[in-house]
């Protein structure tokens, strides 16, 4: 067991040193003594405390959860083989085939990190948010302030927990009814493709029991269109209403959705996004 903990810490240090700040979506700064991520940066991006990351690297922390290992694997932009190696070093089974994948390919993370002016969030097949950039936090609130188990769009729409409470008022051009129906339709599709996924089954069961609207959409026999593109008005507490195009890009081979928000160049809405880029939405969003 001690050897396993030592291997886990060694892997964390090696892969942290390998990842450049630019590829992780951080601004390059002068005077860095090492090309890789600082321990503080890894902790921030993975949603962990610096002390916990230090204890993991020094083999003083034992039994990291699958949720923690998954967050570290995504932040470090590991390949599937490397991700599985990290899980095994933690004494855990790697994610199994037949369940909703949470792995974000390194190339997708690098691409999204280089599009720093655009709010981008990456969702799994069951609409769980697994990656986001700084502009996403500035526009929609910092997801790291929401427990990982609550970072799900269906929970935000139909639940009554932290995810729902943190959701900003957003108006869909297609109408709220059509938007909700499309998200439930996507969940139906995911459930049919991942029948062995326990977490997905629990999500659907809880929402069917706790939300009349979700249960109604789930029972509807008329097929709804999947959620791919929309025009949305976001009522932001700092800069006011922002009208943005919302596009959902499917990541081939990974069953992920990359959601982007953009505004027409030179429009007042683009100006509001520019303002959020400068302020980071910090007057509206608490920071850890």
The sign one gets for the Cα dihedral 195, 250, 178, 176 is: positive
CATH 3.30.450.180, applies to 106-279 = yes
> What pLDDT shows up at residue 1?
47
> In this structure, which topology does domain 2-89 adopt according to CATH?
434 Repressor (Amino-terminal Domain) (1.10.260)
The pLDDT value recorded for residue 285 is: 34
pTM as predicted: 0.77
Q: What is the pLDDT at residue 284?
A: 35
- Domains of the chain, by residue range, sit at 2-89, 106-279
Which residues, given as ranges, of the chain have pLDDT below 70? 1-5, 28, 30-31, 224-225, 281-288
Nearest-angstrom CA–CA distance, 99 and 257: 16
pLDDT at 4: 60
End-to-end CA distance of the chain: 33
| Helix (H) and strand (E) counts in the chain | 13, 6
Q: Which of 103, 162, 109, 156 is nearest to 133 (CA)?
A: 109
Supply the pLDDT for residue 33: 73
CA–CA separation, 149 and 129 (whole Å) = 10
Residues facing 128 on adjacent strands: 152
**Which pLDDT belongs to residue 5?**
61
Cα–Cα dist 244/265, whole Å: 11
CA angle 36, 37, 39 (to 5 degrees): 135
Asked if residue 156 lies in contact with residue 166, where contact means CB atoms within 8 angstroms, the answer is: yes
What is the rounded average pLDDT for all residues in the chain? 87
Distance CA(164)–CA(21), nearest Å, equals 32
């Amino acid at each position: 067991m001690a050897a396993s903990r030592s291997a886990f810490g060694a892997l964390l240090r090696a892969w942290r040193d390998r990842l450049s700040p630019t590829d992780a979506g951080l601004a390059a700064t002068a005077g860095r003594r090492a090309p890789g991520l600082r321990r503080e940066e890894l902790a921030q991006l993975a949603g962990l405390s610096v002390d916990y990351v230090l204890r993991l690297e020094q083999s003083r922390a034992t039994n990291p959860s699958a949720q923690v290992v998954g967050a570290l694997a995504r932040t470090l932009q590991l390949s599937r083989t490397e991700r599985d190696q990290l899980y095994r070093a933690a004494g855990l089974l790697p994610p199994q085939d037949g369940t909703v994948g949470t792995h974000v390919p390194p190339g997708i993370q690098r691409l999204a990190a280089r599009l720093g002016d655009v709010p981008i969030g990456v969702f799994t097949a069951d609409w769980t948010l697994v990656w986001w950039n700084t502009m996403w936090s500035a526009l929609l609130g910092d997801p790291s302030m929401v427990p990982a188990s609550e970072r799900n769009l269906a929970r935000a729409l139909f639940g009554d927990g932290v995810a729902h409470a943190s959701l900003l008022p957003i108006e869909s051009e297609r109408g709220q009814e059509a938007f909700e129906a499309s998200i439930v339709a996507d969940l139906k599709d995911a459930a049919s493709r991942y029948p062995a996924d326990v977490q997905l089954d629990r999500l659907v069961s809880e929402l069917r029991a706790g939300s009349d609207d979700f249960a109604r959409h789930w029972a509807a026999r008329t097929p709804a269109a999947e959620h791919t593109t929309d025009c949305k008005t976001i009522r932001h507490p700092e800069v006011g209403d922002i009208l943005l195009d919302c596009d959902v890009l499917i990541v081939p081979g990974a069953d992920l959705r990359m959601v982007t928000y953009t505004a027409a160049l030179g429009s007042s809405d683009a100006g509001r996004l520019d303002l959020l880029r400068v302020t980071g939405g910090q007057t509206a969003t608490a920071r850890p």
